[in-house]
Structure 1
Amino acid sequence: MFNHQTSIAGFAMSDLVRVACAAMVAVLSSSVLADVKPDPGDYTALPKGTDVVVLYQQNPRGDEVYSGGHKVADDLDLKMNVGVLRLIHFTDFFGTGYTWDPQVVIPFGHQEVGLSDSKTSGLGDITFGGTLWTIADLERNEHLGWSVFFTAPTGSDKDEGFGLSNNRWAVDFQVGYIKGLTDKISWDVIAETEFYSDQRSTDSKKDPLFQLHNHLRYNFTPETYAAITYRHNWGAKETLEGATLATSHDNGTAGFTVATMVNKQLQLMGQVMRDVTVREGVKIDNSLQFRLAYFY
């Protein structure tokens, strides 16, 4: 699955420039949940038999573009309006007594790039997989989960710089731990590694991406919490026939989240994220996210 080869003999310099420009914008995909970013509380193992329908609405905005730590553009005028449908089912892991949650993530959205006066809309790359919990203690608020997610190149406008469509397979491994430090304070830490196949139409290669997510949550009540977040990622250098399309990441993002249970089945979440350091890619000045989760 990860060895798709495409001949690019005679690949013209104009094509190389086009792919490099597309890669510059497509790097945003890692900021728009294409790699299944965990929100505060996501590594909580819910009771077996629980189903969850989650709908996200995200609005990333960015002007500055960095490559190798140097600003290469400051007028990109990138605007994205992204929706994500996520379907989750908590169940027993094949009679072992452990909990796992097979799920599917379907992104879709609209993108505008003022610098190139381009507009793109459509379906993003679909992700499927799940988490297996080896610690699932709701009473003590301690959870340890091991995740595998596969992303398929199903998105629209492949190779045209659409941030939700990478035209390559990816496999994402995560391990997440939640620990209740006090009755009201919890710490979530998630380590993640994502591997990529060669890009299917150009054969460009992409190194693994490494990420670390930290969430510190304060529970005002059992139904309502606020959280501060810091994420950092490294790697993901992309090359084509020896030419560098994107240098390695060394990017950091900070955020703030508020969530509350409206009733026993419905949760509302609001979140704001902002890149605080970017070595490679588009710097997101602000990204607002709203999440609606229905539990049944």
Structure 2
Amino acid sequence: MLPYSQRTRPTGPSSLDSLTWATAWGLVLLAGGLSVTGSARALDLDAGDYVAAPAGTTLGLLYLQGAERDRLYRAGHRQADSPGLDSEIGILRLVHYTDVAGYRVAPQLLVPFGRLDGNRGLDDASGLADPILAMPLWLINEPARRRYLGITPYLFLPLGEYDSDEPLNLGENRWKANLQVAYVDALSERLSLDLAADVMFYGRNNHYGSGRWTQRQKPSYQYQGFLRYQLTPTADLRAGLSWLDGGENSVDKLWLDDRQETGKWSLGFSWFFLPRTQVAATYGRDFAVENGFREEHRLNIRLMQMF
């Protein structure tokens, strides 16, 4: 393989200005908007996602997520007069816990939808995004010790709304697959630690942009950690850190040199205000961005009903 400095990149007339470069990031930003058990930012977790429910439990969840982005960075430098991009994303999620060959599993379906609002030429987009299939498998499931180890494959189906002539789309027109592993352990009677790592693989989009170019993307990696403090049997406080790395894009064989190196923090809570109904809310923002939009504010609200 050629040294990084010698790989093909946009030069001369093919160079991407900040608007075109931001448009190329439209696909990535949506996945960043999908905090489904998770970002195109790999898959963001909620603290406690890998605490397995009893077999036979069914969960219905609604996620509501809003984010504001008004700073575009390239090679760690803020771009002058860059466009902005806000998002309002919802996700409907259905989960069922059962046992297979002595192991707890939880097949699930996630259906994202929402709206992207851009400015300075980015326009907007709304509708359905790409549905997601997932099935966590717990290799360790010890509720008495509050100790869990799970692994989850995710498959993103290219069924969302997509128009290559539009600068922003909720669908990505490509397959994606993610493999995530997470570990949960009790540090004390009230304090728990959640750790997770995952890798996202991207298929090709052969109808990218008005030129119907081919978009490719290298794998991206995400590492997440949370501390949860149990205030009462029905309420907790949580704090988290996340680091995303990798995922360089190419468009029509031109490498964008847009490798992601993004860090963010989050603070939140969860509360069972009814015996089988929970609300969780998390506020966060990016603290480091190498390439792409910086999230100035993100608010996630999750409603969960147990059946």
Same-fold call, TM > 0.5?
yes
CA 1:158/1:142 → structure 2, altered by over 3 Å: closer, same or farther?
farther
2:53 counterpart SS class? coil
Residues 33-86 of structure 1 show CA distances to partners (whole Å, capped at 9, x for unaligned) of: 164421100011110010001101001101011122222245423221111111
Q: Is the aligned partner of 1:131 residue 2:136? A: yes
Correspondence for 2:220: 209
Residues 71-103 of structure 1 show CA distances to partners (whole Å, capped at 9, x for unaligned) of: 22454232211111111110112xx11000001
Select which of 241, 257, 264 maps to 1:253.
Answer: 264
Correspondence for 1:146: 151
Shift of 1:244: 2.3
Alignment gaps of 5+ in structure 2? 1-12, 208-212
In structure 2, what residue type is equivalent to 1:127? I
Select which of 226, 236, 244 maps to 1:233.
Answer: 244
In structure 2, what residue type is equivalent to 1:145? G
Select which of 86, 90, 105 maps to 1:83.
Answer: 90
Correspondence for 2:179: 173
The whole-number CA distance in structure 1 between the counterparts of 2:155 and 2:122 is 32
Correspondence for 1:49: 56
On the 8 A contact 2:268/2:281 being kept in 1, the answer is yes
2:45 counterpart SS class? coil
On the 8 A contact 2:125/2:169 being kept in 1, the answer is no
Divergent runs of 4+, >6 A: 13-19
1:39 counterpart SS class? coil
The whole-number CA distance in structure 2 between the counterparts of 1:135 and 1:164 is 36
Aligned length: 282
Alignment gaps of 5+ in structure 1? 1-12
Residues 223-251 of structure 1 show CA distances to partners (whole Å, capped at 9, x for unaligned) of: 10011110001100001244223511111
Q: Is the aligned partner of 1:282 residue 2:293? A: yes
2:109 counterpart SS class? strand
The whole-number CA distance in structure 1 between the counterparts of 2:77 and 2:255 is 15
Shift of 1:203: 1.9
In structure 1, what residue type is equivalent to 2:71? E
Select which of 177, 190, 201 maps to 1:195.
Answer: 201
The whole-number CA distance in structure 1 between the counterparts of 2:125 and 2:145 is 46
Percent of matched pairs sharing the same residue = 29
Q: Is the aligned partner of 1:59 residue 2:66? A: yes
CA 1:265/1:246 → structure 2, altered by over 3 Å: closer, same or farther?
farther
CA 1:168/1:16 → structure 2, altered by over 3 Å: closer, same or farther?
farther
CA 1:209/1:27 → structure 2, altered by over 3 Å: closer, same or farther?
same
Larger RCO, structures 1/2 (Cα 8 Å, 6+ apart): 1
Select which of 140, 151, 164 maps to 2:170.
Answer: 164
2:145 counterpart SS class? coil
Residues 236-268 of structure 1 show CA distances to partners (whole Å, capped at 9, x for unaligned) of: 000124422351111101000111001221000
The whole-number CA distance in structure 2 between the counterparts of 1:163 and 1:212 is 27
Shift of 1:117: 5.9
CA 1:19/1:105 → structure 2, altered by over 3 Å: closer, same or farther?
farther
User: Normalising to structure 2: TM-score of the pair?
Assistant: 0.86
User: Normalising to structure 1: TM-score of the pair?
Assistant: 0.90
On the 8 A contact 2:270/2:280 being kept in 1, the answer is yes
